[in-house]
Chain A
Amino acid sequence: MSDPLLKVENLRVEFQRSDGIVYAVNDVSFSIAPGETVGVVGESGSGKSTALMALLGLLDANGRVTGGHAWFQGADLLKLNRHQLEDIRGRDIGVVFQDPMLGLNPTMRIGDQIMEGMLEHHYASMKQAFQRTLDLLAEVGIPDPPARFRNYPFEFSGGMRQRVMIAMAIACEPQLLIADEPTTALDVTVQMQILALLDKLRRERRMSIIMITHDLGVATNFCDRIIVMYGGKIMETAPLDEFLHNPAHPYTIALFGSMLEPDDSEDWELHPIPGTAEPLLEFPQACPFAPRCSMAQPRCQTEMPQLRLFENEHWIACHRAEEVMSRAG
């Protein structure tokens, strides 16, 4: 295996709230290889966005990285100053958000916004940047680029705005694209278009992608490896085939059970995961999934399960992983 493009070690992030500290990300470690696509799935509030935004210096003002490293091109992203990070963001690492309006300036022409990044990062001259913007608009499937260059974001549909965001994110040919729920707000047909576009880009450019999604259907069809998060921790991670054949964390299994697929099964019994996930106002000392886990034992309430390595690069954080695996097998 080649050297990782990005290697995150023991990342911790906290938020200050009026009623105390929220422990949003607690010792998260993972890496991504060049050309690899990693899917991050998990409960709402499990720290998916926070973990990745922390790497890019995009935390809310009340958020703070309290530990860890993030090695990228020989530097620790977590130790860089704002200026150095801005340099990397947009040039070496592109970002796409769920709501394209968050990443777009409503009062600026689409084309100027795409050009801006290239000029700021001294990636291209004015003339080159203009031509490249037209090429990018065509590449992301926006018809009539010279005319569309002059449009404002409100003149575009949601799917087209997301494509403009992608054009901006890839303008400087980053090695890594971080996409936070890029298709969640879109119709399934538009989701298909966006995924087809990202698929083409990663194949043609060998670009790595970290895709945050709550949709196992998207993650398993699009990604090479899956990370499952809960309570600010990685619960399970494995290459796709291992993940599909031997899911071994009770939360992952419950998540699979929560996927309603439109196939003939009149007598489906729904077995929802009971309860809800709460923000962690204390540093977790026990399995964060224990309050909702059908397999929880007394030990789970007092002892944090460590992420342990099993066969086939399969990591699981559960005291009862062996039992779950043998039961499913």
Chain B
Amino acid sequence: MPDNALLTVEHVSKRFKVGRRVLHAVEDVSFDLPPGTTLGLVGESGSGKSTLGRIVLRLIEADAGRVLFQGQDLGKLSQEAMRKQRRYMQVIFQDPLASLNPHMTVGRAIEDALIVQQIGTKQERQEMVDEALRKVGLSPAVRDAFPFELSGGQQQRVGIARALSVGPRLIVCDEPISSLDVSIQVQIVKLLKDLQQDMGLSYIFISHNLGVVRHLSDTVLVLYLGRVVEHAPARELFRNPRHPYTRLLFDSILRIPKSSATRRKFVAIPGEMPSPLAPPPGCPFHPRCPIAVDKCKTEPPPLVEVSADHVAACHLAG
């Protein structure tokens, strides 16, 4: 573990009981997040991204492994100590409306976050609310509006303002732009980027939009069926993906072609993501992998370094 990490996740696993069966939502995931940087989290629907984000925030408990935040093992903190730490770790969700109380004005919703953390006097909190709104590009007049009176982009800005108001060091952004219009997505991405530069924030950024992930992330972690299949600096990963699943993912990106002659050929990718209730033995990707060999059906590939700071879990990637 590098001692400058803001967040260290070590061998974290999470299983859910589904009826009489066990679902492996997150399996043995580890990573470090230095301050002021962004970790992009990508992978198919159901691959465990949100579960991992919620474990980091200790909204759910891991079954194994530990999470160190600012040097403290979150699993060992008392409720009171954890409440204090929450100030430094905030979250932004996909659906801004669902994460705001419909009966609370915007100003009240933000102030509430401050009250929970016992920050400031009434007077000081009012100033902090205005300050937070200003930072996300909203006018203080928005304070008295109810969430339903705002556009989706404005609602998401309120969500960000509330997260910012308490002075966090880490924000877990779980699909923060997926429900927004394309032009508004870019506004929010720029806002997140500017805020990071100004305030030295760290982000865990979960998104299906690989372009946005590439744009915001310093490193990117690729999950498949709850497992890390590849983890590398963003630039390196997008230039040189080593795991066949990462390649499949990147091959599915539709870039705007130069002309009709260079349009994409549409080729069917075989297979579905297997059920997490019955993950395949050996390499979890082997039923869909175009280069699988016999060994892949029985032996799970370990996560190995394929180049500096670049790890992949594939028998053939080494």
Contact = CB atoms under 8 A, between A and B. Distances in A.
- The answer to whether A binds B is yes
Interface of A: 43-45, 141, 157-160, 187-193, 195-197, 199, 214-218, 220-222, 224, 240-241, 244-245, 254-264, 266, 268, 270-274, 276-278
A240 B259 CA distance: 8
B187 interface: yes
A218 B263 CA distance: 10
B272 A159 contact: yes
B263 A221 contact: yes
Given A187-B208, A215-B254, A259-B211, 13 more contacts: A43-B181, A188-B210, A188-B253, A188-B254, A191-B254, A196-B266, A199-B266, A221-B256, A260-B209, A260-B212, A260-B215, A270-B189, A272-B190
Interface in B150-194: 151-154, 181-187, 189-190, 193
Contacts of B249: 188-189
B186 A261 contact: no
B181 A44 contact: yes
Interface residues of B, number: 48
A262 B250 contact: yes
Given A157-B273, A187-B45, A187-B208, A261 B260 contact: no
A262 to B, nearest CB: 4
Contacts of B272: 157, 159-160
Contacts of A158: 45
A257 B256 CA distance: 11
Interface string B238-273: 110000000011111111111110011011110011
A255 B193 CA distance: 20
Nearest to B188: A272
Nearest to B273: A157
A193 B44 contact: no
A255 B182 contact: yes
B69 to A, nearest CB: 29
Interface in B196-248: 208-215, 235, 238-239, 248
Given A192-B269, A195-B266, A273 B211 contact: no
Interface of B: 44-45, 151-154, 181-187, 189-190, 193, 208-215, 235, 238-239, 248-260, 263-264, 266-269, 272-273
A255 B183 contact: yes
B213 A262 contact: yes
A185 to B, nearest CB: 9
A274 B188 CA distance: 11
B154, B182, B239, B252: most-surrounded residue (chain A CB, <10 A): B182
Contact of A217 (B151, B256, B260, B267): B256
Contacts of B268: 141, 192-193, 196-197
B243 to A, nearest CB: 14
A221 B151 CA distance: 31
A189 B213 contact: no
Given A187-B44, A221-B257, A264-B235, A254 B183 contact: yes
B257 A276 contact: no
Given A218-B254, A221-B254, A272-B183, A189 B248 contact: yes
Contacts of A157: 272-273
A296 to B, nearest CB: 16
29 contacts: A44-B152, A158-B45, A187-B45, A187-B208, A188-B210, A188-B249, A189-B44, A189-B252, A192-B266, A193-B268, A193-B269, A196-B267, A199-B266, A217-B253, A220-B257, A221-B254, A221-B266, A224-B260, A244-B257, A244-B258, A258-B182, A258-B183, A258-B186, A261-B253, A262-B211, A264-B238, A272-B187, A274-B187, A276-B153
